[in-house]
Amino acid sequence: MARASESGFEIAPVYRAGDLAPGLEERLGEPGAFPYTRGVYPSMYTGRPWTMRQYAGFGTAKESNERYRHLVAQGTGGLSVAFDLPTQMGYDSDDPVASGEVGKVGVAIDSLEDMRILFDQIPLDQVSTSMTINAPASVLLLLYALVAEENGIPGDKLTGTIQNDVLKEYIARGTYIYPPQQSLRLITDIFKYCKAEIPKWNTISISGYHMAEAGATPVQEVAFTLADGIEYVRAAIATGQDVDEFAPRLAFFFVSRTTILEEVAKFRAARRIWADVMKNEFGAKDPKSQMLRFHTQTAGVQLTAQQPEVNLIRVAVQGLAAVLGGTQSLHTNSYDEAIALPTVKAATLALRTQQVLAYETDVTATVDPFAGSYVVEAMTDEVEAGARELMARIEELGGAVAAIEKGFQKSEIERSAYDVSKGIDSGERVVVGVNRYVSAQEEKYDPLRVDPAIEHDQRERLRLLREKRDNAAVDRALADLRKAAEGTDNVLYPMREALQELATVGEVCNALREVWGVYRPTEFF
């Protein structure tokens, strides 16, 4: 019986040259040249490997800082910050809404003081930092830049990425604050600010990862992510920005699953579609505007709490798929993440996985090792065709925002997630340790836990902060921010002044809530 790919295409037992569509050489191109199927750089990893990031953040800024310093000492060249839910939603730790969530799933950042601690003794001009933050992305970026400035590091020396992709929050994740049009306004203000003040910063990481974690197939992941990217480009152009001014700093974020062949094909197809759209739809002339540069994270949704050590094998396979697909940076999950926050040992092993791929295998010796593979080239064409079909449907609905408001992407992903769940329950989809090769008795595991006292400590820190700061100066700065939000001025400049006066993350986000309101989703049936 023939197997089907994650996207539902039949996988043939044997592929031959005749299975490929005509014009392969044109679709491939050369590495580092349009349409970038074979990679965005001519030498790829033959010159140097990808950036090895490790996603971390838990409890307090002090605890997270200790983990970052350990990872830097172990050889990681990129940090990736996880924030707790109150921070992601733009609430302070002492807000009633934050009760019970402070320091869980990420680090609590309430003010410039917390950010100073988080990056204490970290050489911000030598590491690249990615921050998984969306609705309050502007706030956290400005805090980061202020800390760097206090340490004598100007904005033009900073490199990294803010996720800043709010459209996928409406589709699959839920950490939105403002309505879509106001969110797009904030994002385009970030584009303008970074061009002037932090020119090497990647202003957005347009994310398919979270849609994949919610159940999207590879085809859906590519289609919905690139459709969101198109919406951001249109929004920026509508504000008067030239496409070649901001597009080189756009970045993407994808998942990497255990299905190596289709994942490699997915990355290749995504690069090809994006290059075509940017060149032929938006008229981008700068090659960097046409390049789809992306970060990859191994698939958290495929990790299991049962037999967690098996996740080491899953992560190695997923990491290999990302490398074979030409990622620019990679985070490998820790084997214990399905249970709790990663231990130091697990995080170090995850980094070592990347180092083995980079330095002990031969996959970095040549550019695009799978180029010309009958199966991968056929799959690349299938993923491209399927993604373009979905993107055309989104266009018919009026674009990504209009499709979101109609519930299209969400319903498509939920349908796919249901199919996966049914397959696991029936045993048709094998998950080792869950529905096949199950151990009679699971080994006990002692997970890392967050100290519940963290919430009390953060609340006390906020009380002391508000006592010692110049509250009149904070009020004036927040008033200036509200005035900018009511008009057309770039909100990041008054926002920066407010944060420098020690306004909190929640106070800044509340100032914008007062002007822009909040998004209330409509349920679709």
Q: For residue 248, is the peptide bond before it cis, meaning its omega torsion is within 30 degrees of 0?
A: no
User: Helices 218-238 and 180-197, interaxial angle, to 10°?
Assistant: 70
Among 7, 49, 39, which residue's Cα sits nearest to residue 355? Answer: 49
Has residue 62 got a pLDDT over 70? yes
CA dihedral 221, 226, 228, 234 (to 10 degrees): -170
Among 78, 29, 25, which residue's Cα sits nearest to residue 287? Answer: 29
Residue 473 CB-half CA count within 13 A: 13
CA distances from 402 to 58, 186, 383 (A): 36, 18, 24
Instruction: Tell me the mean pLDDT in the region 340-361.
Output: 92
pLDDT of residue 159: 96
Neighbours of 33 (CB within 10 A): 16
Span 391-437, pLDDT tens digits: 999 999 999 999 999 999 999 999 999 999 999 999 999 999 999 99
User: Helices 344-359 and 61-73, interaxial angle, to 10°?
Assistant: 30
Instruction: Tell me the mean pLDDT in the region 298-311.
Output: 96
pLDDT of residue 217: 98
Q: Which two tokens stand for residue 523?
A: 């349920």
CA distances from 112 to 61, 91, 289 (A): 11, 15, 33
Instruction: Tell me the mean pLDDT in the region 508-514.
Output: 98
pLDDT of residue 448: 64
pLDDT of residue 354: 97
The CA distance from 262 to 273, in Å, is 16
30 contacts 42 by C-beta, under 8 angstroms: yes
The CA distance from 239 to 486, in Å, is 16
Has residue 461 got a pLDDT over 60? yes
Amino acid of residue 50: W
CA distances from 304 to 39, 296, 330, 333, 350 (A): 32, 20, 20, 12, 16
Q: Where are the domains of the chain?
A: 3-426, 453-516
Among 514, 498, 491, which residue's Cα sits nearest to residue 191? Answer: 491
Instruction: Tell me the mean pLDDT in the region 200-207.
Output: 96
The CA distance from 484 to 492, in Å, is 9
495 contacts 481 by C-beta, under 8 angstroms: yes
pLDDT of residue 26: 94
The CA distance from 294 to 309, in Å, is 28
Has residue 510 got a pLDDT over 70? yes
466: exposed, middle or buried (Cβ count in 10 Å: 0-12, 13-18, 19+): middle
Average pLDDT along the chain:
94
Local structure of 107: helix, strand or coil = strand
CA dihedral 204, 205, 208, 209 (to 10 degrees): -140
pLDDT of residue 444: 74
pLDDT band at 525 (very low <50, low <70, confident <90, very high): very low
Q: Which two tokens stand for residue 388?
A: 């373009």
pLDDT of residue 79: 87
Span 113-165, pLDDT tens digits: 999 999 999 999 999 999 999 999 999 999 999 999 999 999 999 999 999 99
Has residue 302 got a pLDDT over 80? yes
Neighbours of 114 (CB within 10 A): 25
pLDDT of residue 450: 72
The CA distance from 225 to 27, in Å, is 21
Q: Which residue has the tokens 């010309």?
A: 372
User: Helices 137-150 and 492-500, interaxial angle, to 10°?
Assistant: 60
The CA distance from 58 to 296, in Å, is 21
The CA distance from 386 to 379, in Å, is 10
**How many residues are present in the chain?**
525
Whether the CA torsion 255, 245, 159, 328 is positive or negative: it is positive
pLDDT of residue 439: 87
Order across the sheet with 250-256: list the strands: 201-202, 160-162, 128-132, 78-82, 51-56, 329-331, 294-298, 250-256, 204-207
250 contacts 371 by C-beta, under 8 angstroms: no
Rg over CA atoms, the chain: 23
pLDDT of residue 524: 46
| Angle at 230 (CA atoms; ends 224, 231), nearest 5 degrees | 90
User: Helices 492-500 and 505-516, interaxial angle, to 10°?
Assistant: 150
Has residue 322 got a pLDDT over 60? yes
Q: Which residue has the higher pLDDT, 56 or 159?
A: 159
Q: Which two tokens stand for residue 143?
A: 């805090």
Span 171-202, pLDDT tens digits: 998 999 999 999 999 999 999 999 999 999 99
CATH class in words for 3-426: alpha beta
**Of 1-15, 273-287, 413-427, 473-487, the least confident:** 1-15
pLDDT of residue 340: 81
Span 76-106, pLDDT tens digits: 778 889 999 999 999 999 999 999 999 988 9
